[in-house]
Amino acid sequence: MKGEAASTESVPLHTGLAGNVEAVPTGGQSVREQSKQDDADPDLSTENDRLPMSGLRIIDVGTFLAGPYAASILGEFGAEVLKVEHPIAGDPMRRFGTASKRHDATLAWLSEGRNRKSVTLDLRQQQGVDLFLKLVAKSDVLIENFRPGTMEEWGLGWDELSQANPGLVMLRVSGYGQTGPYRRRSGFAHIAHGFAGLSYLAGFPGETPVVPGTAPMGDYMSSLYGAIGILLALRHREATGQGQIIDIGIYEAVFRQMDEIAAAYGLFGKVREREGAGSFVAVPHGHFRTIDDKWVAIACTTDKMFERFAAVMGKAELAAADRYGNQRKRLAARDEINRIVIEWVGSMPRNEVMKRCIDGEVPIGKLNSIADIFEDEHFQARGNLAHLQEEGLGEVVIPGVVPTLSETPGRISNLGPPLGNATYEVLRELLGISAKEIRRLRQNKII
């Protein structure tokens, strides 16, 4: 647990606590401001302690998203996250994406750097390494995503880290993992999507494969597996007191989502190809344009669903046994079925198509732009858009907390912090370093 010296003793987590935590964002306050408010409000402080990850301290020394996003997730549920960054430039994520009025924060950083304290340390200097090891000794989890071997080059390999804290849980995310012939290659989500087979399937038959969405899904997916791995490793530590390494290649997280393609190739030599907006397992199953130039997704994966859809279209006869009532017959007549659906959907505005399908219990959804999402009542009702006030920027809207816990819902305490906003606090209060020594460290550009 945070604040305790490294020990081989079992360290329990604060799980299973009763009570309900306010799920409303705190308005983008800094951690220091929030701490002052907690001290002034015993009830709020008590409720904060009930978050399931309360009492856990995480060091996030990675960059961008793959790995650090795991810290974001656990931070939403009470973990204290210390973002260790280079004292001059900080995490490159601060300059990635759309610029904001804050010189050290893009909108991407404000959103994904949430619930952190920023601590600056130069890990290429021995004094920085020494301070980092002291910080590790008082923490539970370390997250890094450098090219394999980088931490070892800095004198921060597993041998040194586990000696400082035998109970440390270390998440290591890289493009190809810590082992294997490609381990030293650089990797990003875009590369992982291609290597894992996802990009090959994205696009239309015979055309150039496209990027499967402009968001770096591989980074998010590897971090989700990383968060799971951290929880599993902490469970093991509860029983044994022993820490361990979690090793994830970004491509592995993507490949794990690829349903049956491995089994289909291994058994039958089948290579799945690009299918555009459709699906090889069902029809109609794709994206269709309405008369007002909007789009809907329709998915009829069973004979019963198609029967309902045929009735909604006013063509109940299509679902007869001698026509297209059987999935196999529909797949054989894919082009004809899609032509019928395209004509029907294209004859009406999207709202009318949606109403008829929903009333007829046909699976349908809008292809939402972000403007659509901001107006959607379901996103509003579920709290999927979190509104926080940031000094100098006004209201900033970011994705809300997922998942929703009934008794201990997570919360967003602050947006991505200014570079080094908690360096003095952490060094002085957590490591007990004198103000004079902190000034000297700053003069020497260690912090």
The b-or-e profile of 398-409 (16+ CB within 10 A means b, else e) is: bebbeeeeeebb
How would you class 219 by CB atoms within 10 Å of its CB: exposed for 0-12, middle for 13-18, buried for 19 or more? buried
Q: CA-CA distance, 79 to 100, in Å (whole number)?
A: 27
- C-alpha 415/C-alpha 426 separation (Å) is 19
Helix (H) or strand (E) holding 442: helix 435-443
| 247 counts as catalytic | no
Nearest-angstrom CA–CA distance, 83 and 414: 13
What is the spatial distance between Cα 378 and Cα 390, in angstroms, rounded to a whole number? 25
Nearest to 197 by CA among 251, 127, 266: 251
Catalytic hit among 38, 43, 219, 292: 219
Q: Rounded to the nearest 5°, which phi and psi values hold at 387?
A: -105, 120
Omega before 403 within 30 of 0, i.e. cis: yes
**Closest Cα to residue 323, out of 337, 312, 339, 311?**
337
- Unique residue bearing structure tokens 């090793």: 247
Contacts 24+ apart (CB under 8 A), 424-429: 425/32, 425/117, 426/82, 426/117, 426/119, 426/135, 427/119, 427/131
**Starting at the edge strand that comes first in sequence, how are the strands of the sheet with 244-249 ordered?**
117-120, 80-85, 57-60, 141-144, 169-174, 244-249
**Rounded Cα distance, 183 and 82, in Å:** 27
Query: What phi and psi values does residue 397 have, to the nearest 5 degrees?
Result: -105, 130
Active site residues: 219
